[in-house]
């Protein structure tokens, strides 16, 4: 990670990586969504609504992964004072918030025909909604600190404390009685039939690449803005 | 209940929000890098 502490070296890698992540992400997401809509059979219980799985699961993963990134960047900033950590945390927040919002909306849309309700205040849904609000708080706090010229240490502490919500989201379906189904995809396998499951890795990898591209683009924007500000200060304007 | 309006709505929301995120990130990057390049040339 410290090899990337130099912004010039980071940009040398980030520029081509942005393009590749965008192209691969778009291709895999489009193919995965098209396959999920047209190439898989309906579920014997959920019928056609099972197709929402191909967008809901990646957005849930990325909503949580975004905060894992913020927590890692916060730790890196507070412990090792990595010069790009605060920028990385600020760049990950809008992307994470967007995918947390997509997860909440697509889950709600799936819930209406499947559970008969748009929303239920159970452990999984509520902890995911809390994550979305945590993102909004982080974005507001980090922006305010940046405007004041701070190092972003308060936002970093907030980023670390907010990570407490991640295991709550993950284990909520085990800890509390919930409408949300239990874990159906784990590291050792899945309870979902292969004929339905196969487009999911495509959208998972595809949306993850798009997430990465969005984060890199925001980091590049912040680095360029910092360069302009430093130059303006030197020119005395 | 016909499930397709729900499936369609979920995909439309996903595509719209993802596209909005990517376009915003791309536009802010292009704007900032163009400003930095202009200043460097001065």
Q: What is the per-residue pLDDT for A231? A: 86
Answer whether residue A2 shows pLDDT above 80: no
Q: What is the per-residue pLDDT for A188? A: 78
**Average pLDDT in the B4-31 region?**
98
Q: Which of B12, B16, B21, B38 to mutate to test the interface with A (most CBs of A within 10 A)?
A: B21
Rounded CA gap, A198 and B4, in Å?
Answer: 21
Kindly identify which residue of chain A lies nearest to residue B9, measuring between CA atoms: A109
**Average pLDDT in the A188-211 region?**
92
> What is the interface pTM, i.e. ipTM, of the complex?
0.95
- As given in the structure block, the two tokens for residue A160 are 């670390």
**Average pLDDT in the A85-112 region?**
97
Answer whether residue A4 shows pLDDT above 70: no
| Domain segments of chain A as ranges | 49-181+212-219
CB contact under 8 A, B14 and A55: yes
Q: What is the per-residue pLDDT for A237? A: 58
CB contact under 8 A, A95 and B25: yes
**Average pLDDT in the B34-42 region?**
86
Q: What share of chain A in percent tops pLDDT 70?
A: 98
DSSP A41: P
Closest CB to A217 among B1, B20, B25:
B25
Lowest mean pLDDT among A40-44, A203-207, B25-29: A40-44
Summarize pLDDT for A27-83 with one digit per residue, the tens: 999 999 999 999 999 999 889 999 999 999 999 999 999 999 999 999 999 999 888
- Give the closest-approach CA distance of B34 to chain A in angstroms: 9
Q: Average pLDDT over chain A, rounded to whole? A: 93
**Average pLDDT in the A138-153 region?**
91
Q: Name the residue with tokens 């495509």.
A: A202
pLDDT band for position A134 (cuts 50, 70, 90): very high
Write the DSSP string, A136-173.
Answer: HHHHHHHHHHHHTT--SHHHHHHHHHHTTHHHHHHHHH
Rounded CA gap, A113 and B24, in Å?
Answer: 33
Q: What share of chain A in percent tops pLDDT 90?
A: 76
Q: What is the per-residue pLDDT for A36? A: 96
């Amino acid at each position: 990670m410290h090899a990337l502490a130099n912004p010039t070296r980071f940009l040398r890698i980030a520029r081509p990586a942005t393009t590749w992540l965008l192209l691969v992400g778009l291709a895999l997401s489009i193919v995965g969504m098209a396959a999920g809509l047209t190439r898989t059979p309906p579920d014997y219980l959920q019928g056609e609504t099972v197709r929402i799985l191909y967008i809901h699961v990646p957005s849930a993963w990325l909503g949580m992964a975004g905060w894992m990134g913020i927590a890692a960047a916060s730790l890196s900033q507070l412990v090792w004072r990595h010069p790009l950590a605060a920028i990385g945390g600020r760049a990950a927040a809008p992307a994470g918030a967007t995918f947390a919002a997509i997860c909440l909306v697509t889950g709600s849309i799936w819930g209406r025909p499947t559970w008969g309700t748009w929303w239920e205040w159970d452990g999984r849904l509520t902890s995911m909604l809390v994550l979305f609000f945590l993102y909004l708080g982080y974005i507001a706090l980090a922006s305010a600190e940046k405007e004041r010229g701070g190092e972003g240490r308060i936002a970093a502490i907030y980023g670390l404390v907010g990570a407490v919500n991640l295991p709550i989201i993950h284990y909520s379906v085990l800890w509390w009685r919930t409408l949300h189904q239990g874990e159906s995809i784990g590291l050792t396998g899945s309870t979902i039939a292969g004929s339905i499951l196969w487009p999911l890795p495509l959208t998972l990898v595809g949306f993850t690449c798009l997430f990465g591209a969005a984060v890199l683009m925001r980091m590049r924007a912040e680095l360029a803005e910092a360069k302009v500000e430093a130059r303006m200060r030197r020119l005395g304007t | 209940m016909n499930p397709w309006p729900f499936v369609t709505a979920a995909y439309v929301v996903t595509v719209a929000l993802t596209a909005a995120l990517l376009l915003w990130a791309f536009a802010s990057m292009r704007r900032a890098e163009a400003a930095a390049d202009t200043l460097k040339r001065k």
